[in-house]
């Protein structure tokens, strides 16, 4: 019989102190009082409010709205009580010693990123076995390696993180971002590469959305700037973003404004300058489905010119030798490439260079080594193709297998390029390639202490509720037996045009080594099959995503991979919405849930954090018809009184400035209220961490141990007792 998580967490303590009945009787007869029963940790109480309101004709209850006010002393006390309660239970779970040892082996590694080449110098990040955070290095023309940015030294408690970093074209200066508590909010700094000294003048606050673009003279960069003003509501801040130009040595407060704020919090704005410095570009994004592109010829145009106004289409533009190249899904869900003359930029004058490929969902385009490099997915597996400037396909890059590859990374006029590749069973490798000849050689690889030959990846297809065929990767030991009794972890996302593909992650290996199965479906809402796939899972079509996920679970049960009681689900951010909805809609189908930094109150999501920027993806709660769609699945509003739900581990972060943690707090409170404290509904709060979690290796180990120990306990998995390495 599968014990409850609470029973398992207390079992070892009870067994140690509770004597056998006859022994207990003898102790009483001798006048020795029996040992007291150990106290079971109690679920912290949560008060309810009577809040029931009618919005656009819908009657909606919100008994835990008071938990939205994070600054309230009452909420702070509640958070501490919940986190303490959760960690007390997590620390009592079996298997933690083995998991800690295993994740220490898997996470403290030597690894390197794709290098960025600038004027003969190479810049890259390297994770060291003895460091908590990755370090940025640079290699000079002689091949000597130097430390450039080491965030391990920026704070005594390791709570200051490195964000974006961009070297100038001459490789002598780097602009980079510091992020307190691994949050999105950041400050830009400028560093002299040779001396390693920071400029005391070039310090720019408000770099939350900054992605700097250097001018060719290396004296200035274009960047996105967001004012830090407590008077501006957090939910309105995206609409205040401006594009500016900073000249090195000038007072940032006097930086030239290149484009004003849009005033629309549902938009993102981005700016860049062409490598030759002739053209400035502005992109205004409305969600993940459309954007407008403006340009200006430096020194010639006083006003911005509209290149294209997106209507349910996205455009990315690069320029080389006075020709604009436009990569778009306009009229082509799998994307195509156009050329445009800056002197005659009207859409009617564009020329199609590379037509859409119906079999490949293209995702990125680059000009490298005098060619076009276009990456994409064919049945959720990476392909990278090289074309000449006339649009003729030259070759497909020969990848090491079926997995996930980056596009080619390099310069427009340099034959040297790099790409990365990995799969579920192949750790990341980086290859150096000649664009002209197509020859590649291994440049760097990461040595991970696992034996991937013990495991295999299967790709299966299953029908969703409406008959749509959905692909899914399943990773398991080669000798797995389909007897309907395997513990399975089902991971999903399904949104924002993001693709889940076969890529290596150390997180899953202790689970696999313990006999677990890992499954990843390519849900609608993602980008695995192009724009149409994304459209089929956004807005009014969002229920398709949840139906695809439920169908994945049903397939795993039907095909004897597992049973509902031994099936766990995991997701974060939009994926947290996915698993929260799955838990609310089909509680009988899942055994346990790990939900991280999620959206769960879809009636009020737009009022906090970056919520308004997601309206094009989810819908607008202020509009009656769209509210009906959102309220129809909003997980917080569909937890019923006296319900029976899978066991829940909620992973939250105290400095998440993207998805407000109120979602996690309210949902946990609602589940605890529904189940009257029975079963499991735990809230774990990562301190000094943002939406992506803490970036210290030690904290990643602790988080992973908590999650897998939770799965071992809830799904009845016997933890291994010895480390599993390549040798065994």
The catalytically annotated residue of 691, 703, 704, 713 is 691
| Token pair listed for 293 | 């592109």
Q: Which residues pair with 292 in a beta bridge?
A: 284
Q: Across-strand partners of 189?
A: 176, 203
**DSSP-H helix ranges across 539-660:** 543-558, 574-585, 615-618, 624-633
Query: Is 59 annotated as catalytic?
Result: no
Spatial neighbors of 198 by CB under 8 A, at least 6 apart, are 189, 190, 191, 192
Q: DSSP assignment of 224-286, as one string?
A: EE----TTS-GGGGGGG-EEEEEETTS-GGGPEEEE---S-TTEEEEEEE-TTSSEEEEEEEE
- Angle of CA points 69, 71, 72, to nearest 5°: 70
Q: How far is CA 603 from CA 257, 259, 570, in A?
A: 36, 33, 23
**155 flagged as catalytic:** no
Of the candidates 573, 592, 700, 704, the residue annotated as catalytic is 573
CA proximity to 516, closest of 110, 102, 104, 4: 102
Q: Which two tokens stand for residue 263?
A: 């005033």
Rounded distance between C-alpha atoms, residue 113 and residue 94, angstroms = 36
Give the chain's end-to-end CA distance (angstroms, integer).
31
Tell me the chain's radius of gyration from C-alpha atoms: 27
The rounded Cα 486 to chain-centroid distance in angstroms is: 27
Q: What is the Cα–Cα distance from 189 to 163, expressed in whole angstroms?
A: 11
Q: Which two tokens stand for residue 620?
A: 């607008």
Residues 6+ apart with CB under 8 A from 316: 283, 326, 327, 328, 365
CA distance linking residue 174 with residue 452, whole number of Å: 38
CA–CA dist 177, 154 (Å, integer): 12
Number of Cα atoms under 13 Å in the Cβ half of residue 116? 15
- Asked if 617 and 583 count as a contact pair (C-beta separation under 8 A), the reply is no
Residue at token pair 């994004």: 285
C-alpha distance from residue 254 to each of 176, 200, 271, 296, 299 (Å): 20, 16, 18, 22, 20
* Chain position carrying tokens 């990461």: 446
Mind telling me the catalytic residues?
A: 573, 691
């Amino acid at each position: 019989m599968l014990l409850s998580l609470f029973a398992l967490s207390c079992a070892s303590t009870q067994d140690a102190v509770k004597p056998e009945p006859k022994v207990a009787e003898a102790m009483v007869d001798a006048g020795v009082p029996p040992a007291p029963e150990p106290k079971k940790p109690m679920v912290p109480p949560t008060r309810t409010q009577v809040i029931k309101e009618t919005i656009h004709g819908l009657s909606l209850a919100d008994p835990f709205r008071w938990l939205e006010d994070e600054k309230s002393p009452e909420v702070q006390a509640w958070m501490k009580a919940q986190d303490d309660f959760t960690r007390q239970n997590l620390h009592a779970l079996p298997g933690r010693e083995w998991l800690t040892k295993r994740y220490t082996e898997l996470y403290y590694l030597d690894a390197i990123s794709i290098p960025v080449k600038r004027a003969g110098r190479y810049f890259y990040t390297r994770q060291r076995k003895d460091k908590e955070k990755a370090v940025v290095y640079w290699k000079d023309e002689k091949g000597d390696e130097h430390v450039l940015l080491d965030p391990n030294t920026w704070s005594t408690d390791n709570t200051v993180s490195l964000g974006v970093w961009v070297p100038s074209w001459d490789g002598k200066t780097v602009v980079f971002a510091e992020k307190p508590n691994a949050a999105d909010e950041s400050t830009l700094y400028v560093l002299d590469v040779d001396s390693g000294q920071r400029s005391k003048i070039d310090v720019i606050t408000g770099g939350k959305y900054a992605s700097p673009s250097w001018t060719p003279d290396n004296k200035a960069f274009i960047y996105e700037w967001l004012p830090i003003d407590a008077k501006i509501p957090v939910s309105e801040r995206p609409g205040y973003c401006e594009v500016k130009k900073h000249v090195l040595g000038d007072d940032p407060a006097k930086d030239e404004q290149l484009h004003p704020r849009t005033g629309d919090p549902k938009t993102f704005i981005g700016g860049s300058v062409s490598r030759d410095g002739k053209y400035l570009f502005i992109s205004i994004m409305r969600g993940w489905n459309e954007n407008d592109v403006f340009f200006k010829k430096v020194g010639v145009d006083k006003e911005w010119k509209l290149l294209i106004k997106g209507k349910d289409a996205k455009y990315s533009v690069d320029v080389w030798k006075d020709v604009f190249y436009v990569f778009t899904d306009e009229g082509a869900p799998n994307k195509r490439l156009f050329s445009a003359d800056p002197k005659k930029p009207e859409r009617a004058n564009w020329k199609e260079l590379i037509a859409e490929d119906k079999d490949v969902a293209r995702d990125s385009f680059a000009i490298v080594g005098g060619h076009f490099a276009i990456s994409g997915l064919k049945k959720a597996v990476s392909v990278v193709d090289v074309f000449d400037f006339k649009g003729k396909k030259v070759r497909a890059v020969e990848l090491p297998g079926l997995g996930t590859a980056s596009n080619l990374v390099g310069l427009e006029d340099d034959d040297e390029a790099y790409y990365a590749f990995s799969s579920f069973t192949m750790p990341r490798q980086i290859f150096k390639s000649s664009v002209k000849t197509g020859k590649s050689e291994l440049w760097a690889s990461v040595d991970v202490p696992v034996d991937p030959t013990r495991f295999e990846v299967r790709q299966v297809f299953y029908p969703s509720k409406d008959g749509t065929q959905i692909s899914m990767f399943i990773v398991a030991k080669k000798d797995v037996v389909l007897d309907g009794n395997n513990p399975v972890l089902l991971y999903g996302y399904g949104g924002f045009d993001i693709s889940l593909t076969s890529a290596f992650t150390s997180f899953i290996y202790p689970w696999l080594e313990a006999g677990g199965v890992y499954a990843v479906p390519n849900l609608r809402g993602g980008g695995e099959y192009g724009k149409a796939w994304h459209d089929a899972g956004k807005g009014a079509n969002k229920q398709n995503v949840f139906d695809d996920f439920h169908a994945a679970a049903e397939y795993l049960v039907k095909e004897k991979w597992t049973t509902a009681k031994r099936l766990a689900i995991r997701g974060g951010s939009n994926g947290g919405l996915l698993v929260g909805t799955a838990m609310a809609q089909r509680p009988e189908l899942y055994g346990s849930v790990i939900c991280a930094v999620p959206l769960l109150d879809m009636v009020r999501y737009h009022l906090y954090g970056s919520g308004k920027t997601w309206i094009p993806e989810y819908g607008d709660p202020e509009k009656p018809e769209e509210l009906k769609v959102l309220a129809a699945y909003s997980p917080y509003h569909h937890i019923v009184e006296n319900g029976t739900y899978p066991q829940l581990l909620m992973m939250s972060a105290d400095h998440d400035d993207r998805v407000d943690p109120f979602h996690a707090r309210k949902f946990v409170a609602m589940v605890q209220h529904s189940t009257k404290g029975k079963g499991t509904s735990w809230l774990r709060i990562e301190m000094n961490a943002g939406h992506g979690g803490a970036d210290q290796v030690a904290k990643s180990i602790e988080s992973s141990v908590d999650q897998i120990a939770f799965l071992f306990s809830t799904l009845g998995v016997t933890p291994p007792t010895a480390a599993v390495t390549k040798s065994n």
